[in-house]
Amino acid sequence: MKQVYIYRSFERFWHWTQAFLIFFLGLTGFEIHASISFFGFENAVKYHNIAAYALLILIVFAIFWHFTTGEWKQYLPTFKNLKSQIDFYLLGIFRNAPHPTKKTVLSKLNPLQRLTYLGLKLLVIPIMVISGLFYMFYRYPQGQGMATINIESLEIIAVIHTLGAFLLIAFVVAHIYLITTGHTILSNLKAMITGYEELEDDDHEKESKVNKEVKLETNN
């Protein structure tokens, strides 16, 4: 095994900030739905809106970063080894079977992760953002009148937004479990904190070249 710099600084910042905002939005969102009581309803609404704007800003920066660095290619779907990956998570991991997909700097995600993250970015997150904006600007007071989004009811929007929230929660639960499936229970978590992860040594020559390029880019 060889230590390789695989997660850049912005990538780690974006990951942990997004995780915090999703947890905070979930907490305040459940209070708005009266499922829990923590901040108080009015404060929960205010904090939820602030966190929503913060997430929107983070999403804009993340999109810019993904396209300027070429990291968007990490999410291109592939069906190669997909069945093997599913079998690994369902059965192989409990038999100490070898991981069917090797992680590299140029391919950080296995086939199942690619499909899951792509669905999250192209379906779940947009649903949450769009339905959330409908919530925030529904008959929103502007000047002397009520303007912008003036639809008949928010009932369908509320159901869609809540469904999206539960999908996000399901993703977070699965994500936390998958964190433990690295070389050690904490290796994936440590990698997302430090940026360095242990990769198999037979890929070292190729990874070292990419690693140097990434470091040069980071320093510049």
CATH number of 71's domain: 1.20.950.20
Closest to 196 measured CA to CA, from 218, 164, 171: 218
Note the pLDDT tens digit of each residue in 156-212: 888 899 999 999 999 998 888 888 887 788 888 999 999 998 887 654 444 455 555
Say what the pTM is.
0.79
Residues 6+ apart with CB under 8 A from 198: 1, 2, 3, 4, 183, 187
How many residues would you count in the chain? 220
Within 10 angstroms of residue 31's Cβ, the number of other Cβ atoms is 20
List helix spans (H) across the chain.
Answer: 9-32, 41-69, 82-90, 111-119, 125-137, 155-179, 187-194, 204-219
Residues spanned by the domain of 19: 2-219
Number of domains in the chain: 1
Q: Which two tokens stand for residue 115?
A: 């499909």
Place 215 in a pLDDT band, splitting at 50, 70 and 90.
low
Note the pLDDT tens digit of each residue in 122-145: 999 999 999 988 888 776 555 555
